[in-house]
């Protein structure tokens, strides 16, 4: 099992509102599964970000949903 890093890691997702590819920073020390809200850097609309960090490889999977 991989120990969670204390350093932030870059990740990209597509805005659920405008579809633009957005680069963000994930803090893996916050857990293997995370959910939080981040405003799009292009259209400024809020996105619910779902983040999963693979405990074996440290690979990040991130996807967004429209905040209702």
pTM, entire model = 0.84
Predicted pLDDT of residue 7: 75
The model's pLDDT over 7-65, given as tens digits with 9 standing for 90+, comes to: 788 999 999 999 999 999 999 888 999 999 999 999 999 999 999 998 888 889 999 99
Planar angle of CA 61, 50, 55, nearest 5 degrees: 45
SS3 43: coil
| pLDDT at position 68 over 80 | no
What stretches of the chain adopt beta strand conformation (E)?
A: 9-14, 21-26, 33-39, 46-53, 60-66
Portion of the chain with pLDDT greater than 70, in percent: 91
68 close to 46: Cβ distance less than 8 angstroms: no
């Amino acid at each position: 099992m991989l120990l969670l890093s204390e350093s932030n890691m870059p990740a990209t997702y597509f805005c659920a509102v405008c579809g633009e590819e957005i680069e963000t920073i994930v803090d893996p020390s916050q857990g293997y599964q995370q959910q939080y809200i981040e405003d799009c850097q292009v259209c400024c609309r809020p996105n619910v970000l779902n983040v999963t960090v693979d405990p074996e490889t440290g690979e990040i999977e991130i996807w967004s949903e429209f905040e209702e």
